[in-house]
Amino acid sequence: MIFSRRFYLIAVVAAAAAVGCSRRASEADVHADHSMTVASAAGGSGSDVASIPAGASSVAERLAKSPRHGEFVMIRTGPSDSVRAWVVYPQRYTKAPVVVVVHEIFGLSTWVRGVADQLAADGFIAIAPDLLTGKLEPVPGSDTVASSAATAAVRSLRLEDVQRQIAAVGQYGMALPAAEKRYGVVGFCWGVGTSFASAVESPAGQGAAVVYYGPSPATPSLARVKVPVLGLYGGDDARVGATVPPADSAMKALGKRFEPHTFAGAGHGFMRQQDGQDGANLAASRQAWPLTISFFRSTLGR
């Protein structure tokens, strides 16, 4: 009888330990893709590197094979408007911070959805709003709009409306049962001005902004920035690069956190066009994405 009780206690302890190990392994798996591929990024030569978002030429294939759950939702952003958004969830058992992904001038494309999927692979709930909702219909048989039409429509958007909608999307994300009460914003090209502007507005709950190769706001407005900003730029993108030193100087003088990085030889839009600039765009992408994830983890939490 004593032996049976001891055997039972040992079995209970062993089962509990197994559950703990399983949970720790599951938590580690959330970031296993990232850590393994960052190490391999220095040596690989292909443009389809699993630790960073896929380039435009391979994103559809990568997205089709993703094991993560993504879905379109409608998010109320004001008394009389809503936006369609692509939401991707990470595979983890703990609550996750939220990242709002602001699309380029081409609208909510498959490539932007691929960026959101990679953020989820790195442990975040990613939400990519379609800021052209209700203004353009997708090309028949696809989920994206024609790039020429999107470019014209984006230029007609009012900045105050865009910022209101991004803030509403952030609030929606934080209210999800699986989310932490903190979010960041990342933008690309046209979306950079929008994401940097979100840092200027710094609505409740926003903890960081990441800007990819887009112009900085007017210097006087930087005094209103309340969240850390990471800037990632191509060395061969002189038009945008000219706006970085004034912003850097102003942010330093104001005592605000701005971390600009410029990648030699990379052009504008390097993360999308990873096969451009004789390898410099891919090299920049491999450096920029780990900086992005590290920055969001330090400001938003893991």
**Among candidate residues 95, 258, 283, 82, the one with its CA nearest the CA of residue 183:** 95
By three-state DSSP, how is residue 256 classified?
A: coil
Partner residues linked to 97 by β-bridges: none
pLDDT tens profile 247-276? 999 999 999 999 999 999 999 999 999 999
pTM (two decimals): 0.82
Determine the average pLDDT of the residues in 222-246: 95
E runs forming strands in the chain: 69-78, 81-89, 96-102, 125-130, 179-188, 206-212, 229-234, 258-263
Determine the average pLDDT of the residues in 124-150: 84
pLDDT tens profile 144-189? 777 788 888 888 899 899 999 999 999 999 999 999 999 999 999 8
Determine the average pLDDT of the residues in 36-44: 32
The predicted structure's pLDDT at residue 145: 75
Is the predicted pLDDT of residue 65 greater than 80, yes or no? yes
Mean pLDDT highest for which of 15-24, 29-38, 226-235? 226-235
Task: Answer whether 171's CB lies under 8 Å from 164's CB.
Answer: no
Helix axes 280-300, 2-41, angle to 10 degrees: 140
Residue given tokens 């605000």 in the structure block: 256
The predicted structure's pLDDT at residue 143: 67
Q: Exposed/middle/buried for 136, CB within 10 Å: 0-12, 13-18, 19+?
A: middle
Q: What are phi and psi of 272, to 5 degrees?
A: -75, -45
